[in-house]
Amino acid sequence: MSLQQVHGKFKVFAGPLAADKTLGKLADDVAAFAKDKAAKSIGVEYLESLKQLVVTLGYRDDEEAYPVEVKTVLMGKHEITADSLHKLEDEMTAASKKIGNVICHELYVTDEHDYLMVFLVRK
């Protein structure tokens, strides 16, 4: 099986934040769509004015599919300072080590300044 990261097809999902500020049902929707695709990348944008998430999945349909899941991890609140960003980097690394098999990641920030990491993970 080829595991090329290069891709040029995309699927867009949109919906509200879950009560815990994660992707909630959108994570399941992405994984379900990707079950017969070779998922390569994920993008997430939080639209504060609409209280909606827009999630994009990059994929290939000319490679063997593999199961994926989407996991969201709350990183807490961070300021935009060198020290805070170094702490955020350390937290991101620690979270990815716990999750394992990370294909791609994305960071989004809520209107309440909560930082959340989204990991596209190969099962």
Specify the number of domains making up the chain: 1
43 domain residue, yes or no: yes
60 domain residue, yes or no: yes
2 domain residue, yes or no: no
58 domain residue, yes or no: yes
- In this prediction the pTM is 0.90
Q: What pLDDT does residue 2 have?
A: 47
Residues 6+ apart with CB under 8 A from 24: 15, 16, 17, 18
3 domain residue, yes or no: no
Q: What pLDDT does residue 1 have?
A: 43
User: In the structure encoding, which two tokens stand for residue 49, read together?
Assistant: 């004015």
Give the model confidence (pLDDT) of 21-58 as tens digits: 999 999 999 999 999 999 999 999 999 999 899 999 99
Looking at every residue in the chain, the average pLDDT score rounds to 92
4 domain residue, yes or no: no
39 domain residue, yes or no: yes
- Which residue range is the domain that position 36 belongs to? 9-122
Q: What pLDDT does residue 78 have?
A: 85
Q: Taking the alpha carbons of 27, 40, 11, 48 in that order, is the dihedral positive or negative?
A: positive
pLDDT at 100 over 60: yes
1 domain residue, yes or no: no
